[in-house]
């Protein structure tokens, strides 16, 4: 199942973007070591706080739902969830 990874939230802080690039290279070279959520019925996400939920995660889940269904379960991986947001 395709996954998403977001970095570069602060454009002048390149460490997160560089780390993400390194993670992608590692994942391509060693796919057998990747974690997959095979119990989810669709895409979901977690962020801390209402602002990030509304302005970052919600648009990301909307975009992803064009390709994958959104997990609408009230509990995901043991956490309370609403519209795929934990």
Each of the 86 residues of the chain gets a pLDDT tens digit; together they read 556 667 777 767 788 888 888 888 887 888 766 756 777 888 899 888 888 888 989 999 999 888 889 999 999 988 999 999 98
Give ∠ CA 23-18-11 in degrees, rounded to 5.
130
Q: What digits encode the pLDDT tens for the residues 2-24?
A: 566 677 777 677 888 888 888 88
Strand-pair partners of 85 = 45, 82
pTM of the model: 0.58
With a CB cutoff of 8 Å and minimum separation 6, the contacts of 62 are none
| Sequence spans of domains, the chain | 15-80
């Amino acid at each position: 199942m395709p996954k998403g990874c977001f970095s570069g939230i602060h454009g002048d802080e390149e460490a997160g973007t560089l780390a993400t690039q390194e993670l992608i290279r590692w994942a391509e070279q060693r796919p057998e070591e990747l974690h997959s959520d095979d119990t989810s019925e669709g895409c979901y996400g977690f962020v801390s706080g209402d602002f990030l939920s509304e302005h970052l995660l919600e648009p990301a889940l909307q975009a992803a739902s064009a390709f994958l269904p959104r997990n609408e379960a009230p509990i995901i991986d043991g956490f309370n969830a609403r519209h795929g947001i934990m």
